[in-house]
Amino acid sequence: MRKGLVVVGLTAIVVGSIGYLRLMDEALPEPAGAGTPRAVSPTGHDTAAETSPPSVPAANAAPGGLLETQRLLRRHDFEALRRLVEAKQARLEQDVRWEDELGQAVAAFDVADPALTPLLDAWVVAQPDAWAPRLARARHRLAVAWERRGSKWAKDTSEEQVAGMRESLDEAIGDAREALRHNPKLTEAYRTLIKAAMGRGDPQACVRLAELGLAVAPASLRVRSALAVCLLPRWGGSYDAVAALAREAQKYAGQNPALAALLGFVDWDRGCIARNDKKYDEAAALFTRALAAGEHAYFYYDRADTYLRQKRYTEALADVARLLAMAPEDPGVLLTRAWILVGLERYQDALADVQVMSEFDPTSDRLARFRQQQAETALSQAYQLLEMTKDVEGAIARYTWAIQMSPANAEALYWRGRAYIRKDDRVHALADFEAAIRLDPRHFESYRNVDWLLAQRGDWDGVIAHWTRYIDLEPLNGQAYLERGGAYHRKGDQRAALADADKACGLGAPRACELIGRGSATR
């Protein structure tokens, strides 16, 4: 009887604030699962992060964190995964205050990395009667849906993109419904369905789905917070509806004190708008007021982001520390911390966060943009240090950071090699030039520097071998023949030297023609 009152009460309060409730075109999912809900799609301010980068050293995973959970999937340890997820659901059913634990566990699959798709498919096949793989795949498919849509405004989004998004949303909804069929108490499945409904801008569907979720867990914050985001004006709702939802929730605050945070959602959203309008002081004040109502990851995340934009790094770092205590290894939070640490010039600390993100979500566009921006900035700074201020050590440090951000950047390796030559560190210089050549086998200047370094120790065979490799790729480069001819000459093979000089002259190398004219192929 009490659960029925929850459903009726929520509908009356929220509908009264919205002004109407349009019935869905199709039947909504019941816990036992009958019919298919109309597909609806998300976006929200969840703290999960939004091109496979070059490989980086294995990251240190936090015990029980997202990365460790995802590694179980990548190792095909499906039984361990099932036990882990089911244990968190069992704890939630005993006390709803533990619901974030389950949310964090399934967030391990909330990425669009295509490498996860066949692994999740295999898990579903391996355990067809388990709800855990279905819920995990639903979260993954939700992320895929938004990847397929893209991040541009609706007017700049093609019909093909929208169709792809809807297809993935339908698949996510199907998995969430199937998970509910196996376990009707899965509030996380209802949250997934609400987030799907939100993306189609259907707040009425969000309400109906929340009713079902709250029928099994009346004191759930995660169900209500998903609904609160769906009811924001940007998704077709209103602040009155969000405020009404927050007030209604407080009757369950004795069971779940975290529900107080809902009272801060209107201030939080207004803070997001102010921040996007670059009214940073106003935004920070609104986020702080939201936090006065109750702690929530959204509030800390967006205040930290605002502080970052203001270069208030110490305050931003404090908010991020609290966030990571609430949601260890959240990729969006880690990326924010990486930006903060870069601002504090703590590059190696930032690298640790980048390594975790790179393994957890190698397809993240946000991570790719961070890497690219950092690599480009570091290369520019390093060149200034090397050529203008003659700070060789400083230049090497910046080139090293550029390489860590972009390991496949042959130019960064080449320039660090040049800096090592300035330092007279020939061993590291040679290693960098050879690494640049492995990445870009046609990087001519790296060959020239390898030539010079090997020549210093009289390794003419090594010089010849390098230029032969280059000529195999670029047989019309006259300068390459001239360089190899010089090595043959130093080695004492004058016939080969003259042949290369003749070839170089024929390919338009003036110096080679001069040498032939004098009957010599000396360098």
For the segment 185-203, the average pLDDT, to the nearest whole number, is: 90
Say yes or no to pLDDT of 522 above 80: no
Residue in 188, 185, 210 with CA at minimum distance from that of residue 11: 210
Confidence band for 18, pLDDT divided at 50, 70 and 90: very low
Confidence band for 54, pLDDT divided at 50, 70 and 90: very low
What is the rounded distance in angstroms from the CA atom of residue 55 to the CA atom of residue 412? Answer: 16
Taking each continuous run of H as one helix and of E as one strand, the counts in the chain are 26, 0
Q: What percent of the chain has pLDDT over 70?
A: 87
Range in 17-26, 54-63, 168-177 with the lowest mean pLDDT: 17-26
What is the rounded distance in angstroms from the CA atom of residue 139 to the CA atom of residue 145? Answer: 10
For the segment 69-91, the average pLDDT, to the nearest whole number, is: 96
What integer pLDDT is reported at residue 521 of this predicted model? Answer: 41
Packing angle, helices 187-199 and 221-230, rounded to 10: 10
For the segment 265-287, the average pLDDT, to the nearest whole number, is: 98
Q: Per-residue pLDDT tens for 473-520?
A: 999 999 999 999 999 999 999 999 999 999 999 999 999 999 888 544
* Residue for token pair 């570091």: 378
For the segment 241-259, the average pLDDT, to the nearest whole number, is: 97
For the segment 145-163, the average pLDDT, to the nearest whole number, is: 86
- The tokens for 396 are 């090497």
* Residue for token pair 């541009």: 152
- The tokens for 500 are 């290369």
Average pLDDT, the chain: 88
Q: Per-residue pLDDT tens for 289-316?
A: 999 999 999 999 999 999 999 999 999 9
| 342 exposure class (CB count in 10 Å sphere: 0-12, 13-18, 19+) | buried
**Domain coordinates of the chain in residue numbers?**
272-356, 367-517
Say yes or no to pLDDT of 285 above 70: yes
Confidence band for 231, pLDDT divided at 50, 70 and 90: very high
Confidence band for 234, pLDDT divided at 50, 70 and 90: confident
What integer pLDDT is reported at residue 519 of this predicted model? Answer: 43
DSSP state of 39: P
For the segment 22-32, the average pLDDT, to the nearest whole number, is: 31
Q: Domain spanning 367-517 has what CATH number?
A: 1.25.40.10
> Rounded to the nearest 5°, which phi and psi values hold at 238?
-155, 160
What integer pLDDT is reported at residue 464 of this predicted model? Answer: 97
What is the rounded distance in angstroms from the CA atom of residue 298 to the CA atom of residue 225? Answer: 10
Confidence band for 9, pLDDT divided at 50, 70 and 90: low
State pTM to two decimals: 0.82
In this structure, are residues 24 and 204 in contact, taking their beta carbons and an 8 Å threshold? yes
Domain 272-356 and domain 367-517 have a common topology: yes
What integer pLDDT is reported at residue 55 of this predicted model? Answer: 43
| 474 exposure class (CB count in 10 Å sphere: 0-12, 13-18, 19+) | middle
* Residue for token pair 């669009």: 112
What integer pLDDT is reported at residue 57 of this predicted model? Answer: 54
What single-letter amino acid sits at 332?
G
Residues in the chain: 523
Say yes or no to pLDDT of 22 above 60: no
- Overall fold of domain 272-356: 1.25.40
Q: What percent of the chain has pLDDT over 90?
A: 79
> Rounded to the nearest 5°, which phi and psi values hold at 126?
-70, -30
Confidence band for 271, pLDDT divided at 50, 70 and 90: very high
Confidence band for 159, pLDDT divided at 50, 70 and 90: confident
Q: Per-residue pLDDT tens for 410-463?
A: 999 999 999 999 999 999 999 999 999 999 999 999 999 999 999 999 999 999
Range in 49-63, 164-178, 446-460 with the lowest mean pLDDT: 49-63
In this structure, are residues 265 and 290 in contact, taking their beta carbons and an 8 Å threshold? yes
What integer pLDDT is reported at residue 7 of this predicted model? Answer: 44
| 439 exposure class (CB count in 10 Å sphere: 0-12, 13-18, 19+) | middle
